[in-house]
Structure 1
Amino acid sequence: MDWFIDTPYFGILISIVMFEIGLYINKKTKIPVLHPLLISIGLIIGILLAFDISLETYEKGGNMISFFLGPVTVTLAVPLYKKIDLLKKHTKPILIGIIVGVFTSILSVVGLTKLFGYEDEMIYSLIPKSITTPIGIEVSESIGGIPSITVVSIIVTGIIGAIVAPFVCKIFRIEDKVAKGIAIGTSSHAVGTSKAMEMGETEGAMSGLAIGLAGLLTAVIVPILLIVLD
């Protein structure tokens, strides 16, 4: 058994199996907070601790899954292509919405962390919380953050976004499909986009667009903004 644990197959297999279990629990209970990703993370941590398996051993396969995050994000262009006419029709409000969302995300993190006296390294780690993981890690490293903390903040943000998005739209009576998609994608990247796709094809397409643009804008804006705010 030890030989299998030391191979990349262990990390890959345990990740897939635990996520499937999380998916099953989520579908059976229909409780929003029991998100498949959250459940699978908890189960994997529990197994590693129970059997005294190091994180490095798990990451031999876990990192291989992470490698595919970039290509998977690119596939979100498919539903967007199907809605290209809608994009052309609403180009201006879509761009304004994404830009406002990016600035709101960055400034809220900087403002709240400064208010509670966080150290700069922690602030820089939390700033990319609303963008997709591959871009978020690069942004965090470039500005002096801690990538591991950035990844955790991105995952938590995505899960929270996926859980609360339908309720927020309902409470504030947001019925426009384009607005829903842009808001979800800008604030909670790919995990939120999975919920947007469940809400509808238009919501999913717009959310996928927001992921890419929000990531690019954040990568460009953050270094400049930090200089201005310093």
Structure 2
Amino acid sequence: MIYLYSLLTIASFFLALQINKRLKSVLLNTFVLTVFILIGVLLLVNVPYEHYMAGNAPLNNLMTVSIVALALPLYEQLRQIATFWKSILFVTTFASITAMLTAGGLALWLGANPDIVATVMSKSVTMPIAMAISGHLGGIPAMASVGVVIAGVQGAVVGYVILRKLRLTSSEGIGIAVGATSHAIGTAALMEHDVKASTYSSIALVLCGIISSILAPLVFHLLYMVA
């Protein structure tokens, strides 16, 4: 009975998908609408968040499996990656290091404890990887997932709009920028505007996840060496 919350999540997503098809709103994309619908339903029927999370376990458990699924975009785009691999690798490496340094450095400057610094450093990679990085560094995986969602929603809502306002017209550039900062949530939202950009975004989110996993311990120790 409790796993009906998983069906609620799926139903909310499909309802949000239908609403988005009618609204075609950049701000109210499918992910944001799904969150709003779920919050509204849970508040209306007075369901505690803990009960919802327990009942949504089947979907939550798929997050770990999704790490393996991230290899698919890399396989599908091997030819394009082979052509531009130096540029893609440089940009994603730079973006990964910058995201970790700025998030961790700001937290450190504000007086955060090491566990908080370790938690916020992984905000720009997809949730399963972020939680693994945070846990490995001594952070709080559950809190890291919140940071990931916030970063993803920001990118999904305003990322594409900001890049277009900056007169960036390259689908490749837009995709890599969104994927490197807003991971899977931003990539899913980008698919509604530019399929080619979403392909490059998926490449960036995979590479940033791999690079961040490798470099996060080094960046974490570097921050405390400099401090």
1:109 equivalent to 2:96? Answer: no
Going from structure 1 to structure 2, the CA distance change for 1:178 and 1:31 (only over 3 Å counts) comes to closer
Query: 1:152-188: per-residue Cα shift (whole Å, max 9, x none)?
Result: 1111111111222222221222222222221111111
Alignment coverage as a number of residue pairs: 224
Going from structure 1 to structure 2, the CA distance change for 1:218 and 1:80 (only over 3 Å counts) comes to closer
Q: Which residue of the partner structure matches residue 20 of structure 1?
A: 14
1:164 equivalent to 2:155? Answer: no
Contact 2:127 2:145 in 1 (8 A): yes
| Same amino acid, percent of matched pairs | 28
TM-score between both structures, scaled by the size of structure 1: 0.86
Match of 1:154 among 148, 159, 178: 148
Q: Which residue of the partner structure matches residue 129 of structure 2?
A: 135
TM-score between both structures, scaled by the size of structure 2: 0.87
Q: CA deviation at 1:28?
A: 2.9
Q: Which residue of the partner structure matches residue 30 of structure 1?
A: 24
Q: CA deviation at 1:74?
A: 4.5
**C-alpha separation between the residues in 1 aligned to 2:76 and 2:173?**
17
Going from structure 1 to structure 2, the CA distance change for 1:117 and 1:73 (only over 3 Å counts) comes to same
Match of 2:181 among 177, 181, 187: 187
Q: Which residue of the partner structure matches residue 113 of structure 2?
A: 119
Q: CA deviation at 1:80?
A: 4.5
Bigger shift: 143-152 or 37-46? 37-46
**C-alpha separation between the residues in 1 aligned to 2:209 and 2:73?**
19
Could you say what the CA RMSD is over the residues aligned between the two structures, in angstroms? 2.2
Going from structure 1 to structure 2, the CA distance change for 1:142 and 1:175 (only over 3 Å counts) comes to same
Contact 1:26 1:36 in 2 (8 A): yes
Bigger shift: 147-156 or 64-73? 64-73
Q: CA deviation at 1:196?
A: 3.2
**One-letter amino acid matched to 2:179:** G
**One-letter amino acid matched to 1:129:** K
Q: Which residue of the partner structure matches residue 210 of structure 2?
A: 216
Query: 1:198-219: per-residue Cα shift (whole Å, max 9, x none)?
Result: 3434322221121221111111
Unaligned ranges ≥5, structure 1: none
Query: 1:83-103: per-residue Cα shift (whole Å, max 9, x none)?
Result: 332211111000001001101
1:99 equivalent to 2:93? Answer: yes
Match of 1:61 among 36, 42, 55: 55
**One-letter amino acid matched to 2:116:** M
**C-alpha separation between the residues in 1 aligned to 2:130 and 2:109?**
23
Q: Which residue of the partner structure matches residue 89 of structure 1?
A: 83
Contact 2:122 2:148 in 1 (8 A): yes
Going from structure 1 to structure 2, the CA distance change for 1:73 and 1:190 (only over 3 Å counts) comes to farther
Bigger shift: 142-151 or 53-62? 53-62
Unaligned ranges ≥5, structure 2: none
Bigger shift: 64-73 or 12-21? 64-73
